[in-house]
Amino acid sequence: MKEARQTDFADRLKTAAEARQVLLAGFRAKPAVAAPDAPDRAARRAAELQQVRADRAAARAAKKQAAADRELAAAQAVEAVAAAQLDARRGERKERKALTKAEAKAKRDARYAARKARQ
What would the pLDDT profile of 51-81 be if each residue is shown by its tens digit?
A: 999 999 999 999 999 999 999 999 999 999 9
**Could you give the CA distance from residue 69 to residue 75 in angstroms, rounded to a whole number?**
10
Cα pseudo-dihedral 31, 37, 40, 41, rounded to 10? -80
> Higher pLDDT residue, 21 or 35?
21
For the stretch 88-105, pLDDT in tens is 999 999 999 998 998 999
pLDDT band at 34 (very low <50, low <70, confident <90, very high): low
pLDDT for 40: 78
Q: What CA–CA distance (Å, rounded) separates 15 from 84? A: 108
pLDDT the model gives residue 1: 44
Q: How far apart are CA 13 and CA 109, in angstroms?
A: 146
Integer Cα distance of 113 and 72 in angstroms:
60
42-70 burial code (b ≥16 CB/10 A, e <16): eeeeeeeeeeeeeeeeeeeeeeeeeeeee
Residue 39's pLDDT band (cuts 50, 70, 90) = low
